[in-house]
Amino acid sequence: MNDIIQLLPDSVANQIAAGEVIQRPASVVKELVENALDAGATEIIIHAKDAGKTLIQISDNGCGMSPTDARMAFERHATSKINSANDLFSIRTMGFRGEALASIAAIADVELKTKRVEDEVGTFIHIIGSEVKKQEPVACTNGTGFSIKNLFFNVPARRKFLKANTTELKHIIYEIQRIAIPNPEIKISFYHNNSPLYELPQTNYRKRIVDVFGKSINQSLVPVKEDTSLIKIHGFVGQPKFARKTVGEQFFFANGRFMRHPYFHKAVMQAYEKLLPPDTFPSYFLFFELDPGNIDINVHPTKTEIKFENDRAIWQIIHAAVRESLGKHNVVPSIDFDQ
Ligand code: ADP
Ligand code: MG
């Protein structure tokens, strides 16, 4: 019998990886905006057409790439963000797995224009389905611009199962919120079919939340602050009297990264115990800063699940911090729910 095992070609391996990293247009937005953050951008502009199904365009004024790096960036496991396994325990960047660009290029039509400050001309690269169609010098501004068309052109099942534009657009908006809220110092704009949905100026945390969710949220927010050797917490929780019947805006960020954390969510909700009108949900925006060596963000390719060492102790700290803020702002259990 002949041996039958073979290594898959890169383009196939990339397409398989893409299935995990890129689920919908919003995943492309997330990955490219995170790359812009990692590139040190102070301004990020996002354009989408037809909820990203027709076009996603992201440009930044970050560090740009050399011609060689620009090509290398599309290789699988190619990253400038870590060098060794040890670096996995000190991650400060949004990316590190080196698979987003390879994945996107495997399942779409991708154009890149990029230029570093020190270079006279930039680089243009056009890739379709992992195949480089063109690479040439181009005159462009400092920074990086990606243009993604025809997403999932070679994965018909994925393309077919994309939801209606309103749903896909909502997912894009969620991703932009998750990046805009923890990065108030960065200007972020988002245009859908050329109309502006966000034009967020550089500001502070509170104002950024207000710019994203509207003025009415401002009066409900009370600050939370707690510094311990294990974790530093800052942010805001919504006063119980502003809690609504629909699930509020509830956000955790760990070292600037949005995360889901049902266990810590309970810590917040228990701090509200007996304060909330029945069947209502408070908003919260809590930012955690902690030693990256004490968390593991490498649980899933999309990195929204994070494992914490000492999660029980952190639970207590969150609970106490939220409870204290609600107490300090005169939120007492005798609140009149009919008001
Ligand atoms: P990762 O972010 O995990 O490193 P990506 O596939 O997202 O992997 O990107 C690969 C590499 O391409 C990055 O490590 C970075 O060096 C470079 N890169 C990607 N996007 C940008 C950008 N907007 N500006 C500058 N460099 C970028
Ligand atoms: Mg990345």
| Domain harbouring 258, CATH code | 3.30.230.10
The mean pLDDT value for 242-251 works out to: 90
Mean pLDDT value of segment 308-326: 97
Return mean pLDDT, the chain: 94
The answer on 156 and 23 residing in a single domain is yes
Is the same domain home to 90 and 131? yes
Closest C-alpha to 33, from 187, 192, 194, 142: 187
Q: What per-residue confidence (pLDDT) applies to 89?
A: 86
Domain count, the chain: 2
Residue nearest to atom 12 of ligand 1 (CA): 73
Buried b (16+ CB within 10 A) or exposed e, 127-150: bbbbeeeeeeeeebebbbbbbbbb
Closest CA to 177 of 193, 188, 167: 188
pLDDT of residue 10: 87
Cα-to-chain-centroid distance, residue 140: 27
Index of the ligand 1 atom closest to the CA of residue 79: 14
Out of 48-52, 202-206, 238-242, 317-321, pick the least confident: 238-242
Is the model's pLDDT at 339 over the cut of 50?
no
- When pLDDT is cut at 50, 70 and 90, the band that residue 299 belongs to is confident
Least confident of 61-65, 83-87, 114-118: 83-87
Does any ligand 1 atom lie closer than 6 A to the CB of residue 39? yes
Whether the CB of 73 sits within 6 Å of ligand 1: yes
Tell whether the model's pLDDT for residue 337 goes beyond 50: no
Q: Dihedral sign, CA of 268, 204, 307, 13? A: positive
Last residue of a domain, one of 176, 200, 224: 200
What's the domain range around 108? 10-200
Q: Which of these three, 200, 224, 240, is where a domain ends?
A: 200
Domain assignment present for 333 = no
70 and 151: one domain? yes
**pLDDT tens for residues 261-289?**
999 999 999 999 999 988 999 999 999 99
Is residue 323 in contact with ligand 1, taking CB distance under 6 Å? Answer: no
Domain's final residue, options 200, 223, 246 = 200
Say if residue 109 is in the same domain as residue 140: yes
Neighbours of 219 (CB within 10 A): 11
Q: Which residue, among 91, 101, 146, 109, has the nearest Cα to 124 in the 3D structure?
A: 146
Indicate the range of 18-22, 33-37, 158-162, 165-169 predicted with least confidence.
Answer: 18-22
Instruction: Provide the angle, in degrees to the nearest 10, between the axes of the packed helices 205-213 and 165-180.
Output: 170
Mean pLDDT on 111-125 = 98
Do 98 and 191 fall within a single domain?
Answer: yes
Q: What is the pLDDT of residue 116?
A: 98
Strand blocks (E) in 51-209: 55-60, 109-115, 122-128, 131-138, 143-149, 187-192, 195-200
pLDDT over 90 percentage in the chain:
84
Which residue's CA is minimally distant from atom 17 of ligand 1? 73
3-class secondary-structure state, position 165: helix
Ligand 1: does its nearest atom lie under 6 Å from the Cβ of 62?
Answer: yes
Question: What is the number of the ligand closest to the CA of 39?
Answer: 1
Question: Is position 210 within any domain?
Answer: no
Angle at 164 between CA 161 and CA 166, to 5 degrees: 140
Q: Flag whether 257 is in a domain.
A: yes
Cβ(125) – ligand 1 distance below 6 Å: no
- Give pLDDT, residue 330: 64
Neighbours of 238 (CB within 10 A): 23
Task: Give a yes or no: residue 205 inside a domain.
Answer: no
Q: Are residues 192 and 252 in the same domain?
A: no
- Alpha carbon of 69 to ligand 1 centroid (Å): 9
For residue 78, the CA-to-ligand 2 centroid distance in Å is 10
Domain annotation covers residue 266: yes
Question: What is the reported pLDDT for 331?
Answer: 54
Same domain, 14 and 123: yes
d(Cα 44, Cα 202) in Å, to the nearest integer?
A: 11
209 within some domain: no
The answer, yes or no, to whether residue 32 has pLDDT greater than 60, is yes
Q: Of 18-27, 160-169, 190-199, 329-338, where does mean pLDDT reach its minimum?
A: 329-338
**How much distance in Å is there from the Cα of 120 to the middle of ligand 2?**
25
Q: Is the ipTM of this complex over 0.95?
A: yes
The β-bridge relationship of strands 250-254 and 257-259 is antiparallel
Please tell me whether residues 30 and 173 are part of one structural domain.
yes
Q: What is the reported pLDDT for 336?
A: 44
Give the span between the Cα atoms of 65 and 185, in whole angstroms: 23
339 domain-assigned: no
CATH number, domain of 159, equals 3.30.565.10
Tens of pLDDT, residue by residue over 177-215, are: 999 999 999 999 999 999 999 999 999 999 999 999 999
Is the residue at 104 inside a domain?
yes
Does one domain contain both 183 and 228? no
Mean of the pLDDT values across residues 221-249?
94
Distance 212 CA to ligand 2 centre (A): 24
Q: What is the pLDDT of residue 133?
A: 98
100 pocket-lining for ligand 1 (C-beta < 6 Å): yes
Residues 176 and 254 in one domain: no
Closest approach atom of ligand 1 to CA 64: 25
Does one domain contain both 220 and 322?
Answer: yes
Task: Note whether 153 and 25 are same-domain residues.
Answer: yes
